[in-house]
Amino acid sequence: MPEMEEEVIRLRKLNHGLATHWPEFLKHIKTANKVLKQKQSDNINPLTPSAKRRQLSYLFQDECYDASDPIELVEVKAPPSQKRKFAEHMMKAKKNLGASDKRRQI
C-alpha cells in the first residue's frame, strides 16, 4: 500500500506541475510556430529585387551615409567594353532626363 500512496503523490505533483506550467508551455509552442512559419514564408517568398534595394537603401541611409560627407569619384576597374556599355547607358539616361525636362517646360 505505501507504494500506491507514493504513486498517487507523484501523480498529484505531476498534475500540479502540468497545471501550473502548461499555459507557459503553450505560449512557447505558439511563439515557436510563428517563428517557423515566418522562416518558411521567407524561404518561399524571397524578397523581390525592389524590396532588396529598399532594404539596402534603408541600411545605407541609416547607418553608413552622412549627407555632409563629400562624394568621392572612384575609377572603375573594368574591361573597356564594360566601361563603354556603362558610358552608353549613362548617356541614354542623361538624354532621357533632358527629354523629360523639355516636356515639362512645354
CB 60 within 8 Å of CB 54:
no
- The full set of domain ranges for the chain reads 1-65, 76-106
pLDDT of residue 47: 59
Residue 93 confidence (pLDDT) above 70: yes
* Residue 78 DSSP code: S
Phi, psi of 77 (to 5 degrees): -100, 90
CB 50 within 8 Å of CB 58:
no
Quote the cell numbers at residue 93.
Answer: 539616361
Convert the pLDDT of each residue in 2-55 to its tens digit. Answer: 777 887 777 777 777 666 666 777 777 778 777 777 766 665 555 566 666 666
CB 48 within 8 Å of CB 55:
no
pTM for the whole structure? 0.26
Residues 70, 47: Cα–Cα separation, whole Å = 32
